Amino acid sequence: MPLMSRCCSRRNRRTFLADVGLGFTGLSLGSMLFRDGVIRASETGVPDGLPLRDPPAKRVIWIFLSGGVSHLETFDPKPLLNEYAGKTYDETPHQNPQKLPIFLERSRSVVGFDRDVVSKIMPLNVGYQKRGELGVEVTDWLPYLGQVVDDLCIVRSMYTTDNDHGAEFQFHTGRHTLDEQQPTIGSWISYGLGTANQNLPEFVFLGQYKDTRVKKDFAADYLGPGYAGVELSLDPANPLPFGRALEGKTPDRQRREFELVNKLNRITAVEYPDDADLRARIESYELAYRMQMSAPEALDLSQETAETQGLYGIDDETTAIYGRRLLTARRLAERGVRFTLVYLSDYGEWDSHSNIKELHARSCKRVDKPLAGFIADLKRRGLLDDTLVVCATEFGRTPGLEITSFNKAGTGRDHHPHGFTVWMAGGGLKRGCVHGATDEFGFHAVEHPHYVTDIHATVLHQLGLDSRKLEIPGRKRLDVDHGQVIREILA
């Protein structure tokens, strides 16, 4: 048999279809077409990258403070804590919040002991003032944010169900640590809308961490690795660890190496067209090369004026790193990145079981000016109108003084999932708004209580997405996973 005939006889149907354009290259083309609206969702079985309506928000910048920020010493001060300092809840004329049925209904322990028996009341560790035209109470630790409070929408009635730090990942996925995990909110948005700039990722993570568990905050779970957050360095020369140019390697040589790797990957993809990891790997290498052309410009903060850099606190060693992350987030938003997760702390930084006065004061000083400058900069550029900002933490701190066998110092507050504060801004939300409330001790969310996925639902709604239309065949989501839109805060 002639050589050509022997080769042709071994060609299976899959290989033939791949060669004529129905292999991975065809899938990539189809992906690009539906992102551009040429192919509709009904034809592909996945979202078409277009919102269901003309939405008020086009992008999200999701800021996270890890460890558990005290709502009591930031945006939800309670004067009764000073009045009854040193007393137990039972020694006050008010009802003991630990004896209410709601205490157990919203709590699910993962640590093997009750973290909420601390009942001796701790006074506030800082003063506060009414700020802005509406006179919203803001801690003295956040004077710069107090100056822009009229642009914020403060939700004082959040709760979650995890009393340990799995609550951090719960805030991003909506699921308790003891349950099956879900994709993060950033991955759902990436899946539903895609990017407005093919040279930058759809979902970006900005931050450094020592604890690799933080990667759960930008994981895509069953949506597949193609919808996970892409971690970016603030170094314009090396934005991606796996896409950096090596010393002595010319751009042309690196381009040819990327092309070779992609050819090899696509050959493998012909035989394994359903391999999501392989698909993501090919896309990541292609994106890495494209980003070498576009990311350096996006990450080059030297293009910003000295005045703008000063607004973010980049000229101050205390605030510089967080200022750079937030300014980078603004630049990425301008260039079409749909969802940017900004990690504005070290992992667990706000977990002040002791020394809360010193530690919270220090952490507040690190984030205050950058956050206020960020809001002011978005507003003056007209970006706040269609950029939805969320600033969150996994839970608050207990009103009680923490004195336990684990911590005998008596200078801090324990974890508190029963009531805490999140603030948002822009993206079609009311400005200068305070929604919901905790009780007189700041213990339970009692007025308009909201589980964490209500924030997810509100964000998706403002982007023109319906989470129930983002269902994946074979994956049943619970009703709580979808959450409820907080309509009272919509403009």
pLDDT of residue 375: 98
Identify the helix (H) or strand (E) that includes residue 191.
helix 185-193
pLDDT of residue 30: 40
pLDDT of residue 210: 84
Q: What is the pTM of this model?
A: 0.84
Q: How far is it, in rounded angstroms, from Cα 142 to Cα 284?
A: 40
pLDDT of residue 168: 96
Structure-model confidence comparison of residues 47 and 330, the more confident one: 330
**Burial class of residue 150 (count of CB atoms within 10 Å of its CB; 0-12, 13-18, 19+):** middle
pLDDT of residue 409: 72
Contacts of 9 (CB under 8 A, 6+ apart): 1
Residue (of 201, 276, 192) closest to 231 by Cα position? 201
Query: pLDDT tens digits, residue range 271-312?
Result: 666 666 656 666 665 665 666 667 788 889 999 999 999 999
pLDDT of residue 254: 58
Round the average pLDDT of the chain to a whole number and report it.
84
**Mean of pLDDT values over 240-258:** 57
Among the ranges 105-119, 135-149, 233-247, which has the highest mean pLDDT value? 135-149
Q: How far is it, in rounded angstroms, from Cα 218 to Cα 168?
A: 12
List Cα–Cα distances, 370 to 313, 316, 351, 375, 377, in angstroms: 6, 10, 21, 9, 10
Structure-model confidence comparison of residues 229 and 293, the more confident one: 229
For the chain, the distance separating the N- and C-terminal CA atoms, rounded to the nearest angstrom, is 75
pLDDT of residue 49: 66
pLDDT of residue 29: 40
Residue 449: CA count within 13 A, CB half-sphere: 17
Q: How far is it, in rounded angstroms, from Cα 115 to Cα 366?
A: 29
Assigned token pair, 298: 């996006």
List Cα–Cα distances, 323 to 64, 140, 342, 361, in angstroms: 14, 20, 11, 18
Query: pLDDT tens digits, residue range 171-215?
Result: 999 999 899 989 999 999 999 998 777 788 899 999 988 888 899
List Cα–Cα distances, 14 to 20, 56, 270, 336, 432, in angstroms: 10, 45, 7, 36, 59
DSSP 343: E
Assigned token pair, 452: 């964490």
Q: Residues 320-327: contacts with CB within 8 Å, 24+ apart?
A: 322/366, 322/367, 322/370, 323/369, 323/370, 323/373, 324/234, 325/206, 325/207, 325/234, 325/370, 326/63, 326/370, 326/371, 326/373, 326/374, 327/301, 327/374, 327/377
Q: How far is it, in rounded angstroms, from Cα 262 to Cα 55?
A: 37
Homologous superfamily (CATH) for 58-236+300-489: Alkaline Phosphatase, subunit A (3.40.720.10)
List Cα–Cα distances, 337 to 295, 298, 331, 429, 431, in angstroms: 12, 11, 9, 20, 24
Query: pLDDT tens digits, residue range 334-378?
Result: 999 999 999 999 999 999 999 999 999 999 999 999 999 999 999
Q: Where are the alpha helices (DSSP H) in 210-338?
A: 251-271, 276-299, 306-311, 320-334
List Cα–Cα distances, 32 to 25, 29, 40, 49, 102, in angstroms: 11, 5, 12, 10, 49
Residue (of 194, 189, 228, 201) closest to 290 by Cα position? 201
Assigned token pair, 450: 């909201």
The residue type found at 295 is A
pLDDT of residue 24: 40
Q: How far is it, in rounded angstroms, from Cα 457 to Cα 421?
A: 17
